[in-house]
Amino acid sequence: MSDPRGSNPAPPGAGSTTSAPSGAAPAESWTIQRVLAWAASDFKERGLETPRLEAEILLAHVLGVERLRLILDAHKPLDPAELARFREVIKRRRSGEPVAYVVGEREFYGLVFQVDRRVLIPRQDTEILVDVALEATRHRDLSGRALDLCTGSGCVAIAFARARPTWQVTGADLSPDALEVARGNALRLGVIWGVRFVSGDLYEAVGPEERFELITANPPYIPSGEIPDLDRQIRDFEPRLALDGGQDGLSLLPAIAQGGFARLTPGGTLAVEIGAGQSDAVVALLERTGFVDVRRHKDYGGHERVVSGRKPAPERSPAIDGAASD
Ligand X SMILES: C[S@@+](CC[C@H](N)C(=O)[O-])C[C@H]1O[C@@H](n2cnc3c(N)ncnc32)[C@H](O)[C@@H]1O
Does 201 bind ligand X (CB under 6 A)? Our answer is yes
Per CB under 6 A, which region of 26-34, 130-138, 216-224, 292-300 contacts ligand X?
Answer: 216-224
Does 78 bind ligand X (CB under 6 A)? Our answer is no
Q: How is 232-280 classified by DSSP, letter by letter?
A: HHHHTTS-HHHHB--TTS-TTHHHHHHHHHHHEEEEEEEEEE--TT-HH
Binding to ligand X (CB under 6 A): which residues in 247-266? 252
Does 13 bind ligand X (CB under 6 A)? Our answer is no
Instruction: Compute φ and ψ for 137, nearest 5 degrees.
Output: -115, 10
* Four-point Cα dihedral 146, 151, 153, 154, nearest 10: 0
Q: Which of 48, 102, 128, 150 binds ligand X (CB under 6 A)?
A: 150
Per CB under 6 A, which region of 145-153, 187-195, 228-236, 303-311 contacts ligand X?
Answer: 145-153
Please tell me the count of residues contacting ligand X according to CB under 6 A: 23
Using Cβ positions, the residue closest to ligand X within the complex turns out to be: 152
Single-letter amino acid code for the residue at 152: G
Q: Which of 60, 242, 270, 285 binds ligand X (CB under 6 A)?
A: 242
Q: Which of 155, 186, 256, 307 binds ligand X (CB under 6 A)?
A: 155
H/E element holding 137?
A: none
Distance CA 104, CA 47 (A): 22
First to last CA, the chain: 81
Per CB under 6 A, which region of 21-29, 46-54, 187-195, 215-223 contacts ligand X?
Answer: 215-223
Distance CA 173, CA 36 (A): 39
Q: Which of 114, 137, 153, 269 binds ligand X (CB under 6 A)?
A: 153
- Among left, alpha and beta (phi > 0; psi -120 to 50; other), residue 165 is alpha
Single-letter amino acid code for the residue at 281: A
Binding to ligand X (CB under 6 A): which residues in 79-138? 119-120, 122, 126
Instruction: Tell me how far, at minimum, the Cβ of 263 lies from ligand X, in Å.
Output: 14
Residues forming the site for ligand X (CB under 6 A)? 119-120, 122, 126, 149-153, 155-156, 173-175, 178, 201-202, 218-220, 241-242, 252
